[in-house]
């Protein structure tokens, strides 16, 4: 893929991902560099920038260059001093609630809100010796690979997203802290297109995920479940997936409007701590 920028960009082993070299994100990058990064991000929905030693303030300052930030709704895993940072740490680094894995299921961040995020920026603070990779799926490529009948069949369909069902399951499994009925009630159903159009590239992408999409609006339970499972299985084929093997100091930026991701297992006797900032998006259409 050819893009007109000054930054050195190295494609990785899946067309959706690239590494940007030669940057120090602790510095106040000039507007041209940020514009070039944004261009690269629109060309490669997963961008990797290695070797960054960022404190929370520096990560937030960098993330804000791409838009307003959005807080996660699970307050226990927010950084106590910097609540716009989500702390994914099995040791509860910084005083947040310990969490072994942020999402060991395919999902796009916070699609259960009316306005889901544009993107996420994750910093690898402490990385275990092995495991703990993150998988990313290219939902634009997955849409493009659908047969014409399926594309026509999902055109105009809406899907219901909610966090409540997922959280209740994790709560019962003991991997999320208990919440009262009043607290659970904050996660109401929202509706988004099954296939959305990217507001910047104009490309279409599948916009359902096994983490938060519960049903197809206006479709019977069995028919809707069959369609969702077909789309989930199709979208996460190996040909659409980039596996990121973390190194200490990695920063990975992904476009939530056209990707899914999921965490993988690792040795829980070792620390794995990550800081995530989330960039506010726009209403999916």
Which residues participate in catalysis according to the annotation?
A: 107, 109, 261, 276
β-pair partners for 265: none
> Rounded to 10 degrees, what is the CA torsion of 200, 201, 202, 208?
-90
Question: CB–CB of 52/46 below 8 Å?
Answer: no
- Report phi then psi at 173, rounded to 5: -80, -5
Q: How many CA atoms lie within 13 A of 157 on its CB side?
A: 24
Tally DSSP H helices, then E strands, for the chain.
7, 15
Residue 231 tokens, joined: 């789309």
- Token output for 1: 């893929």
Please tell me the total number of residues recorded for the chain in this structure: 285
**What is the C-alpha to C-alpha distance for residues 100 and 103, in angstroms, rounded to an integer?**
9
CA distance 150 to 30: 44
8 Å CB contact between 87 and 79: yes
The Cα–Cα gap between 262 and 276 comes to 14
Q: Are 249 and 124 in contact (CB under 8 A)?
A: yes
């Amino acid at each position: 893929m050819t893009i007109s920028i000054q930054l050195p960009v190295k494609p990785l082993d899946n067309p959706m991902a690239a590494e940007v070299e030669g940057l120090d994100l602790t510095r106040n990058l000039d507007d041209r560099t940020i514009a070039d990064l944004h261009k690269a991000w629109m060309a490669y929905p997963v961008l990797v920038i290695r070797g960054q030693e960022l404190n929370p303030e520096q990560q937030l300052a960098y993330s804000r260059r791409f838009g307003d930030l959005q807080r996660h709704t699970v307050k226990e895993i927010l950084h106590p001093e910097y609540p716009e940072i989500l702390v994914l740490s099995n040791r509860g680094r910084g005083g947040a609630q310990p969490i072994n894995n942020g999402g060991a299921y395919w999902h796009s961040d916070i699609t259960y809100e009316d306005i889901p995020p544009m993107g996420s920026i994750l910093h690898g603070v402490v990385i275990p010796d092995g495991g703990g990779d993150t998988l990313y799926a290219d939902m634009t490529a997955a849409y493009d690979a659908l047969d014409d009948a399926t594309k026509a069949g999902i055109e105009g369909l809406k899907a219901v997203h909610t966090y409540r069902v997922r959280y209740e399951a994790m709560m019962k499994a003991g991997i999320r802290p208990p919440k009262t009925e009043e607290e659970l009630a904050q996660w109401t159903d929202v509706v988004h297109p099954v296939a959305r159009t990217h507001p910047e590239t104009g490309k279409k992408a599948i916009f359902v995920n096994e983490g938060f999409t519960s049903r197809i609006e206006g479709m019977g339970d069995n028919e809707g479940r069959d369609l969702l499972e077909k789309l989930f299985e199709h979208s996460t084929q190996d040909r659409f997936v980039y596996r990121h093997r973390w190194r200490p100091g990695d920063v990975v930026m992904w476009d939530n409007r056209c990707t899914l991701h999921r965490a993988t297992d690792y040795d829980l006797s070792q620390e794995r701590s990550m800081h995530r900032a989330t960039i506010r998006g726009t209403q999916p259409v």
